Copies of this chain bind each other. A is one copy, B any other.
């Protein structure tokens, strides 16, 4: 199998955070920790483990400290805590995360509703979090949410996102991510946006976060890898749904992405069978069929016929 298509991809497992946060079923802390243990056993090396946000606003993440106190600590596994402000950063640091991920939103309306900040305020808050992370010796990434579209303001143009990324890059994060939070982007937009981001941010590592809400998530992932992005967010089982589209599918599924990557000849270190088994397992815990296909159909083991 040729690897010319793209030769490297790493995944950040966001099932424990973005996945569970958008599911109606509240899981016990022990179940969340087992989810993370299973992900690590399946080869995942970066995990967005939880969010340090207000428990009244996001009850699914109220046990952030308890989760972090129980995850399996390994030198080769990095646990990321999502934080939205200085208080969240302090909690994450004290809970012993390996990285923080700050979030700003590309539109004022969604930003105010999601986290109480306008775009301008979000850039400032992210800069503050990055500065605090530098002081604490923690890598900080910044995610631009709604980078392709906003449920309230409609389409978000790539120029706006690239300008936002340029300003975020000035604060010195370790990585910038763009998130298609509501799953509206298509591959040509991914290609276009990433080209502009590359110009705007130099050689800063980029990460992409796609939802499969309109069945474009995997095609977008391929476009991102072809554009030279090395890291993709994905959730085991494809859990997560979309708070703005009841019944919609969630993040791209780690197991389905791994099927595609393995078929492309990209070595990720992920164990497809274990991922698929964990996708079925988390679906049972959530009481629903998960969107991932690889828990439903076999992985079609490959020979190498020319």
* Interface residues in chain A, defined as those with a beta carbon under 8 Å from any beta carbon in chain B: 1-5, 149, 154-160, 182-189, 191-192, 212-216, 218-219, 221-223, 242, 245, 247-249, 252-253, 256, 259-260, 263-265, 292-294, 296-298, 300-306
Distance in angstroms from A277 CB to nearest chain B CB is 16
Indicate if the CB atoms of B192 and A300 lie closer than 8 Å. no
Q: Given the interface contacts A213-B293, A213-B297, does A155 sit within 8 Å of B302 by beta carbon?
A: yes
Q: How long is the Cα–Cα vector from A181 to B5 in the complex, in angstroms? A: 23
Indicate if the CB atoms of A215 and B293 lie closer than 8 Å. yes
- Chain B residues whose C-beta falls within 8 Å of the C-beta of A305 in the assembled complex: 154-157, 159-160
Indicate if the CB atoms of B260 and A186 lie closer than 8 Å. yes
Chain B CB within 10 Å, residue with most, of A188, A221, A264, A306: A188
Partner of A294, one of B214, B260, B265, B292: B214
Q: How long is the Cα–Cα vector from A72 to B304 in the complex, in angstroms? A: 47
Q: How long is the Cα–Cα vector from A149 to B259 in the complex, in angstroms? A: 14
Indicate if the CB atoms of A297 and B222 lie closer than 8 Å. no
Q: For residue A238, which residue of chain B has the nearest CB?
A: B215
Q: For residue A256, which residue of chain B has the nearest CB?
A: B215
Indicate if the CB atoms of B248 and A293 lie closer than 8 Å. yes
Given contacts A214-B256, A215-B259, 6 further A-B contacts (CB under 8 A): A5-B188, A186-B264, A213-B293, A216-B259, A219-B221, A248-B296
Q: How long is the Cα–Cα vector from A218 to B214 in the complex, in angstroms? A: 10
Partner of A188, one of B2, B182, B188, B189: B2
Chain B CB within 10 Å, residue with most, of A156, A218, A242: A218
